[in-house]
Structure 1
């Protein structure tokens, strides 16, 4: 709203999806094989180098069957799956196939199906669950059948989970690497495969209106892990030392800086904030927190956004710095216009706006020095 020219005068974005995401590719290939038999030799150019691996995975699941050719590249793969039309089983709104059902016990009807990766944020025993403007209380969660049983209730409070998410960057090349973009400067940012693990240890009951916590309840839920993609840039030890000399919270600065980058990405790349998340330190745990600014794809397997962000990371840091310095809020923890995020897994705890500004400035200076030292190609 403050920069209408950026909204109305910028070019149309390039809509992008990581076609090598295994969950996307498996569903796509089942549909493709139903229309016409597949062959690695001829179809690899369309479906990528992981084609044969995914075909074998679909064979193991009973969806495809190859002929008995001795040469694997010349085999013909036919659809033999259980669905008459496999496209009917593909959800165009969700990538995951495993879902939790939410059932109204009084009417014995399904209210909604929730993707497994986000189920425990919404349904657990004692959770207040909202659906179509109505309030429900979750009375039982059956993990074996992946079913939440609830009843309609008139409650004066809502609930929020107490949880933390660990991002373990495993490294290795991404399945669908970004093309070399010479129009962007060289950067220390890296895009890698990562393992995302969320652990839930309780929830809060919070009064509506005042938003005051009046009860904390423990939970015993299994952690949930999935493989995704992350883009991150290291923060040098020298930058950390300068921040600590100011007696600023360095972890809070990293958290706030990651939020600021997260908030500007959808302005330049076609995506929603729900597609991405920032690395957030657990405020209740003093364990080691990596010295980096990191955001990651929230969809299992990754949706390709991190790959797009990596060559442009310096530009996103500049936009994030502009966002922070142009916001006139005076609070140490910033505000929703700059570093606070409604999607934060840790509810915007451990944030330090001024430390974030120092960190981003330091990283940008290191990026500029690196590019200044690059030999000219002219």
Structure 2
């Protein structure tokens, strides 16, 4: 039934209602499918609520209080299309050019994972039939050139995992410069190729309709942003990935694949190190 309802981004509020008819809060269309899909566990004032109904047309979410040993994270797919380019500039000494502009973003929640509260291990995967959320926003993007591709191949590095890890680290570091939470941002990495750019690419975008200046701030302070991203990864003692550096608790791909070593190599090349 959800498939018949369009959820193009409008920013209008969805009401979150408990089974006793108490209003728990509100959320917007950019978050509702990821955080409040049927079966999702919603936390409110230390209590667990399970989503029992999502009425997209009426903009209502219905929940029932529960006490369960698991939490949920969405399985999702993201895609971006470049609509226009506002500006470009060179970064560092590695030949990187970062672009900023308008994107059409499509986020599709495919289902969700149940994860044990104590071990964080996946208990089950549930698949859903939900409509895509399509919205226009602002973002930045950058590509991985032939030189880096060849070096990664020669070293036996996992470039798909490296770009995914770098995307996560960039999102984690941007709130140091833009007043936001990492959940206000979205991102997607393309390997082996982005169809618009015809190269491997990383996109970071504002997670709300129209954009609110978050990635514009990142563009303005790009060298400081990238230095902070590099520091975040290099200062972390893990070898491949961990929640402190390149793992994202809201990753729609269950943080797979991730390779911090390759992410560091790509970023150092971009900065001309």
- Indicate the residue corresponding to 1:50 in structure 2: none
Give the distance between the partners of 2:238 and 2:184, measured in 1 at CA.
27
- Indicate the residue corresponding to 1:272 in structure 2: 181
**1:360 has 2:273 as partner:** no
- Indicate the residue corresponding to 1:44 in structure 2: none
- Indicate the residue corresponding to 1:169 in structure 2: 82
- Indicate the residue corresponding to 1:223 in structure 2: 132
Name the SS for the 2:171 alignment partner: helix
- The answer to whether the 8 Å contact 1:166/1:198 transfers is yes
> TM-score, with normalisation over the residues of structure 1?
0.61
- Indicate the residue corresponding to 2:37 in structure 1: 124
Give the distance between the partners of 2:83 and 2:28, measured in 1 at CA.
24
Give the distance between the partners of 1:131 and 1:361, measured in 2 at CA.
42
**1:340 has 2:254 as partner:** no
- The answer to whether the 8 Å contact 1:141/1:149 transfers is yes
Distance change >3 Å, CA 224–CA 189, structure 1 → 2: same
CA-atom RMSD, angstroms? Answer: 2.8
- The answer to whether the 8 Å contact 2:11/2:209 transfers is no
Give the distance between the partners of 1:224 and 1:134, measured in 2 at CA.
28
Higher relative contact order, structure no. (Cα contacts within 8 Å, ≥ 6 residues apart): 2
Give the distance between the partners of 2:139 and 2:212, measured in 1 at CA.
10
- The answer to whether the 8 Å contact 2:113/2:124 transfers is yes
Partner deviation per Cα, 1:194-250 (whole Å, 9 max, x = no partner): 111111121222232222322222201110011111112221112111112222211
Query: Which of 127, 146, 150 is matched with 1:237 structurally?
Result: 146
More deviation, 114-123/306-315: 306-315
- Indicate the residue corresponding to 2:4 in structure 1: none
Give the distance between the partners of 2:193 and 2:96, measured in 1 at CA.
25
- The answer to whether the 8 Å contact 1:240/1:359 transfers is no
Partner deviation per Cα, 1:159-193 (whole Å, 9 max, x = no partner): 222111112222233xxx79x9xxx9996111011
- Indicate the residue corresponding to 2:257 in structure 1: 350
Name the SS for the 1:242 alignment partner: helix
- Indicate the residue corresponding to 1:4 in structure 2: none
Give the distance between the partners of 2:74 and 2:18, measured in 1 at CA.
21
Distance change >3 Å, CA 148–CA 320, structure 1 → 2: closer
Q: In proportion to residue count, which structure has more helix?
A: 1
- The answer to whether the 8 Å contact 2:175/2:181 transfers is yes
Partner deviation per Cα, 1:314-364 (whole Å, 9 max, x = no partner): 33223322332333322x2x2233322334343422111111111112222
Distance change >3 Å, CA 245–CA 209, structure 1 → 2: same
- Indicate the residue corresponding to 1:155 in structure 2: 68
**1:197 has 2:111 as partner:** no
Give the distance between the partners of 1:122 and 1:352, measured in 2 at CA.
27
> TM-score, with normalisation over the residues of structure 2?
0.83
Distance change >3 Å, CA 345–CA 148, structure 1 → 2: same
Matches within 5 A, 1:1-378: 97-105=11-19, 107-173=20-86, 188-280=97-189, 288-289=193-194, 291-330=200-239, 332=240, 334-365=241-272
**Count of aligned residue pairs for this structure pair:** 258
Unaligned ranges ≥5, structure 1 = 1-94, 369-378
- The answer to whether the 8 Å contact 1:165/1:280 transfers is no
